[in-house]
Amino acid sequence: MAIRINGSDVAVPDDARVSLLDLLREGLHLTGTKVGCNQGACGACTVLIDGQRVLSCLTLAAQADGRSVTTIEGLGSGSDLHPLQVAFIEHDGFQCGYCTPGQICAAAAMLREVEAGIPSYVTADLAAERLTLSREEVRERMSGNLCRCGAHNGIVEAILRVAAEHAA
Amino acid sequence: MSKTQNAIISSVRTVMGWVPAQWLPGGTPDPLIERRAAIGRQASRLDGPLKVAGEARFAAEVAMDRLCYAALVHSPVTRGRITRLDTGAAETAPGVILVMTHRTMPRIGTLPLIGITDLSAVGNSSIPIMLDAEIRYNGQVVAAVVAETQEQADHAASLIEIDYAIDAARTRFQDARPDARTPASLLMDKNHVSIGNAERELKRAPHRVDNMYRTPAQNHNAIELHAVTAAWEGDSLVLHDATQMIAPSAAALAKLFGLKREQVRVLSPFVGGGFGGKGLWDHQIVAIAAARLAGRPLRLMLSREGVYRMIGGRSPSEQRVAIGADAEGRFTALLHTGYSVMPPYGACPEPYTLGTRALYGARSFEIMQRHLDLDIVPNTFMRAPGEAIGSFAVESAIDELAHAMGVDPIALRLRNLPERHPISGAPFSQHALGQAYAEGAKRFGWDRRHAEPGTVREGEWRIGMGCATGSFPYARMPGANVRITLRGDGTAVIACSAQEMGMGTATVQAQHAADRLGLPLEAISVELGDSALPAAPMAGGSSQTASIAGAIAAAATKLAGELLRLAGNDSPIAGLRAGEVQLVEEGIASIADPTRRESYRSILARAAREAIAVTAAGSAPLEFLKFAMHSSSAIFCELRVSAVTGEVRVDRLLGSFDCGTILNPKTAASQFRGGMIMGLGLALMEETLFDERSGRIMNPSLADYHIPAHLDVPEIDVIWTGIPDPRSPLGARGIGEIGITGVAAAVANAVFNATGKRIRDLPITLDKLL
Amino acid sequence: MTPISYSRATSVAEAGRLADGAGARLLGGGTNLVDLMRKGVERPSRLVDVSGLSDAIELARSGSLVIGAAARNSAVAAHPLVRQRYPMLARAILAGASAQIRNMATVGGNLMQRTRCLYFADVAGSRCNKREPGSGCDAVGGFNRYHAVLGTSPACIAAHPSDMCVALAALDARVQVSGPGGDRMIPLVDFHRLPGDRPDRDTVLDPGEVIVAVELPASPFAGRSAYRKVRDRSSYAFALVSVAAGLTMREGRIEEVAIAFGGIAPKPWRASRAEAVLRGGPAAGAAFAAAADAELADAAPLAGNAFKLALTRRTLEAVLSELTGGSL
Is B52–A104 a contact, with Cβ atoms under 8 angstroms apart? yes
Whether the pLDDT of residue B491 is over 90: the answer is yes
User: What is the SS3 assignment for B577?
Assistant: coil
Confidence at residue B194, expressed as pLDDT on a 0 to 100 scale: 98
Spatial distance between the Cα atoms of C243 and C221, rounded to a whole number of angstroms:
15
HEC states along B186-251? ECCEECCEEECCHHHHHHHCCEEEEEEEEECCECCCCCCCCEEEEEEECCEEEEEECCCCHHHHHH
Crossing angle between the packed helical segments A83-90 and A152-167, to the nearest 10 degrees: 130
Q: Which residue in B167, B156, B210 sits closest to B77, CA to CA?
A: B167
At B673, phi and psi to the nearest 5? Answer: -60, -40
What is the domain partition of chain B in residue ranges?
35-56+476-620, 66-168+224-272+278-310, 185-218+314-475+625-769
**Comparing C-alpha atoms, which of B91, C109, C73 is closest to residue A144?**
C73
Q: Is A98 helix (H, G, I), strand (E, B) or coil?
A: coil
B316 touches chain A (CB under 8 A): no
Q: Per the CB < 8 Å rule, is A92 touching B677?
A: no
Amino acid B598 reads E
Instruction: Label residue B22 by pLDDT band (50, 70, 90).
Output: confident
Give residues 116 to 135 of A whose Cβ lies within 8 Å of C: 116, 118-121, 123, 126-127
Distance in angstroms (rounded) separating the CA atoms of residues A23 and A4:
12
Q: At C66, is the pLDDT very low, low, confident or very high (cuts 50, 70, 90)?
A: very high
Q: Are C222 and C86 in contact (CB under 8 A)?
A: yes
**Chain A contact present for C321, CB below 8 A:** no
With a pLDDT cut of 90, the percent of chain B lying above it is 93
Above 70 in pLDDT, residue B666? yes
Nearest to B654 by CA among B462, B449, B505: B449
Chain C residues whose beta carbon lies within 8 Å of the beta carbon of residue B766? 230, 232, 240, 311
**Closest C-alpha to C121, from C192, C193, C40:** C40
Q: Rounded to 5 degrees, what are φ and ψ at A36?
A: -115, -25
| Mutation target vs A (from B57, B58, B223, B651; most A CBs, 10 A cutoff) | B223
pLDDT at B20: 78
Q: Is B298 an 8 Å CB contact of chain A?
A: no
- Domain B185-218+314-475+625-769 carries which CATH code? 3.30.365.10
CATH architecture of structural domain C5-51 = 2-Layer Sandwich (3.30)
Is residue A105 within 8 angstroms of chain C, CB to CB? no
Instruction: Tell the CATH topology of C225-325.
Output: Enolase-like; domain 1 (3.30.390)
Q: Answer whether C100 sits within 8 Å of A60, measured CB to CB.
A: no
What does DSSP say about strands C46-49 and C5-8: parallel, antiparallel, or unpaired? parallel
Q: Which residues of B touch C236 (CB under 8 A)?
A: 709, 711
Under the banding of pLDDT at 50, 70 and 90, the label for residue B116 is: low
B586 lies within 8 A of chain A by CB: no
Pairwise CB contact (< 8 Å): B706 & C1:
no
Determine the distance in angstroms separating the CA of B649 from the nearest CA of chain C, rounded to an integer: 8
Instruction: Kindly list the distances between the CA atom of residue C299 and the CA atoms of B244, B615, B764, C167, C302, in Å, as whole numbers in the listed order.
Output: 50, 72, 25, 21, 10
B-proximal residues of A, 108-137, CB under 8 Å: 122, 135-136
SS3 at position A2: coil
Q: What are the tens digits of pLDDT across the range A41-78?
A: 999 999 999 999 999 999 999 999 999 999 999 999 98
Write down the pLDDT at residue C327. 36
Contacts with B, A 35-94, CB within 8 Å: 35-42, 44, 71-73, 76-78, 81, 85-86, 88-90, 92, 94
Domain B66-168+224-272+278-310 in CATH 3.90.1170.50? The answer is yes
Q: What is the Cα–Cα distance from B491 to B523, expressed in whole angstroms?
A: 5
Question: What is the rounded CA–CA span in Å between residue B241 and residue B269?
Answer: 9
pLDDT digits (tens, 9 = 90+) for B126-185: 999 999 999 999 999 999 999 999 999 999 999 999 999 999 999 999 999 999 999 999
Interchain CB distance below 8 Å, A144 and C236 = yes
Alpha helical stretches, state H, B257-354: 282-294, 304-310
B-chain residue closest to C37, CA distance: B155
> Within 13 Å of residue C99, how many CA atoms lie on the same side as its CB?
34
**A98 — contact with chain B (CB < 8 Å)?**
yes
Helices (H), chain C: 12-19, 33-39, 73-78, 80-85, 87-95, 99-104, 107-112, 118-121, 164-170, 188-191, 272-278, 285-296, 307-325
Using the predicted structure, report yes or no on whether residue B566 has a pLDDT greater than 70: yes
% of chain C surpassing 90 pLDDT: 98
B282-294 and B246-256 helices, crossing angle to 10°: 50
- Angstrom CA distances, B122 to B204, B237, C18, stand at 46, 18, 55
Instruction: Return all residues near A41 (Cβ < 8 A) that are at least 6 apart.
Output: A146, B304, B701, B702, B703
* Low-confidence spans in chain A with pLDDT less than 70: none
Please say whether the beta carbons of A72 and A33 come within 8 A. yes
CA–CA dist C141, C302 (Å, integer): 8
Q: Give the one of C4, C39, C95 whose C-beta lies nearest to A16's C-beta.
A: C4
Q: Would C5-51 and C225-325 be classified into the same CATH topology? A: no
Q: Model-level pTM?
A: 0.98
Residue C328: predicted pLDDT: 33
Q: Flag if C3 and A63 touch (Cβ within 8 Å).
A: no
Indicate left, alpha or beta for C102 from its phi (over 0: left) and psi (-120 to 50: alpha): alpha
Catalytic residues of B: 737
What pLDDT does residue B327 have? 97
Mutation target to probe the C interface, by most C beta carbons within 10 A, among B767, B768, B769 is B767
Same fold, B66-168+224-272+278-310 and B185-218+314-475+625-769: no
Percentage of residues in chain C with pLDDT exceeding 70? 99
> Given CB atoms, is C325 within the 8 Å cutoff of chain B?
no
- Cβ-in-10-Å burial (0-12, 13-18, 19+) of B220 comes to buried
Residue-wise pLDDT for B347-366, tens only, equals: 999 999 999 999 999 999 99
Percent of chain B past pLDDT 70, that is, above it, reads 99
Q: Report, as an integer, the average pLDDT of B509-532.
A: 97
Nearest to A58 among C31, C87, C95 (CB): C31
- Do the Cβ atoms of C279 and C259 come closer than 8 Å? no
The three-state secondary structure class of B468 is: strand
Judge contact between B633 and B658, C-beta under 8 A.
yes
**Cis ω for the linkage preceding B349 (within 30 of 0):** no
Contact: B76, C318; criterion CB under 8 Å: no
Say how many CB pairs under 8 Å bridge A and B: 192
3-state secondary structure of B69: strand
Residues of B in contact with A17 (CB under 8 A): 151, 155
Shortest CA distance from A71: residue in chain B: B54
Kindly determine whether residue C318 and residue B460, on different chains, have CB atoms separated by under 8 Å.
yes
CA distance C300 to chain A (A): 31
Choose between B112 and B718: higher pLDDT: B718
Q: For B427-436, how does the pLDDT look when each residue is reduced to its tens digit (9 = 90+)? A: 999 999 999 9
Of the residues A55, A57, A123, the best mutation for testing chain C's interface (the one with the most C CB atoms within 10 Å of its CB) is: A55
Flag if C235 and A62 touch (Cβ within 8 Å): no
| B550/C321 Cα distance (integer angstroms) | 64
Those residues whose C-beta lies under 8 Å from the C-beta of residue C37, and which sit 6 or more positions away, are C1, C2, C4, C43, C44
Euclidean distance between CA atoms C226 and C320, whole angstroms? 9
Chain C CB contacts of A15 under 8 Å are 3
Q: Largest alpha-carbon pair distance within chain A?
A: 48
Interface test mutation site (partner C, options B140, B696, B762, B764, max chain C beta carbons within 10 A): B696
**Nearest alpha carbon to residue B277 among B247, B308, B311:** B311
Find chain C residues with C-beta within 8 A of B704's C-beta. 116, 118
Spelled out in words, what is the top-level CATH class assigned to the domain B35-56+476-620? alpha beta
**According to the model, what pLDDT value does residue B117 have?**
65
| pLDDT surpassing 70 at residue C48 | yes
pLDDT of residue A122: 98
Instruction: Tell me the chain B residues in contact with residue A42 when contact means C-beta distances shorter than 8 Å.
Output: 223, 702
Weakest-pLDDT range from B61-65, B537-541, C133-137: B537-541
Q: Shortest CB distance from C236 goes to which of B691, B698, B709?
A: B709
- Assess whether pLDDT exceeds 90 at residue C291: yes
C-alpha angle with apex B589: B587 to B592, nearest 5 degrees? Answer: 165
Of B485, B336, B475, B331, nearest to B414 by C-alpha is: B331
Q: What is the 3-state secondary structure (H, E, C) of B101-151?
A: ECCCCCCCCCCCECCCCCCCCCECECCCCCCCCEECCCCCEEEEEEECCHH
CA A99 to chain B, closest CA, distance in angstroms equals 7
**Chain C residues near residue A119 by CB distance under 8 angstroms:** 77-78, 83, 90, 94
Counting Cβ atoms within 10 Å, is residue C285 exposed (0-12), middle (13-18) or buried (19+)? exposed
Nearest to B53 among A15, A17, A72 (CB): A72
| Helix or strand run (H / E) with residue B297 | none
Mean pLDDT of chain C: 97
Chain B residue closest in CA terms to A140: B711
Size of interface B-C (CB pairs under 8 A): 86
In this structure, are residues A108 and A48 in contact, taking their beta carbons and an 8 Å threshold?
yes
A24: DSSP letter:
I
Pairing of strands C174-179, C210-216: antiparallel
Residues of C in contact with A53 (CB under 8 A): 99-100, 103
Side chain identity at residue B424, one-letter code:
S
Using H for helix, E for strand and C for coil, what is the string for C25-93? EEECCCCCHHHHHHHCCCCCCEEEECCCCCCCEEECCCCCEEEECCCEHHHHHHCHHHHHHCHHHHHHH
Chains that touch C (3 or more CB pairs under 8 A): A, B
| Structural domains in chain A plus CATH codes | 3-75 (3.10.20.30), 83-167 (1.10.150.120)
B-contacting chains (≥3 CB pairs under 8 Å): A, C
Count of beta carbons in the 10 Å neighbourhood of residue B591: 13
Could you tell me the residue ranges of all domains in chain C? 5-51, 225-325
Over residues B364-423, the pLDDT tens digits come to 999 999 999 999 999 999 999 999 999 999 999 999 999 999 999 999 999 999 999 999
**What band does B625 get if pLDDT is binned at 50, 70 and 90?**
confident
Choose the closest CB to A149 out of B149, B273, B701: B273
**Those residues with Cβ within 8 angstroms of residue C195's Cβ, 6 or more apart along the chain or in another chain:** C129, C130, C151, C152, C153, C155, C156, C158, C266
Distance from CA of C26 to the nearest CA of A (A): 13
- Rounded CA-CA distance A68/C258 in Å is 42
Mutation target among C34, C39, C114, C122 for the B interface, most CBs of B within 10 A? C122
What would the pLDDT profile of C195-225 be if each residue is shown by its tens digit?
999 999 999 999 999 999 999 999 999 999 9
Task: Give the tens place of pLDDT for each residue, B37-94.
Answer: 899 999 999 999 999 999 999 999 999 999 999 999 999 999 999 999 999 999 999 9
Contacts of A30 in chain B (CB under 8 A): 54
Q: Tell me, rounded to whole angstroms, the distance of Cα C320 from its chain centroid.
A: 21
For CA atoms B354, B500, B313, B74, the dihedral sign is: negative
Residue A119, CA distances (Å) to B241, C74, C87 in order: 42, 10, 11
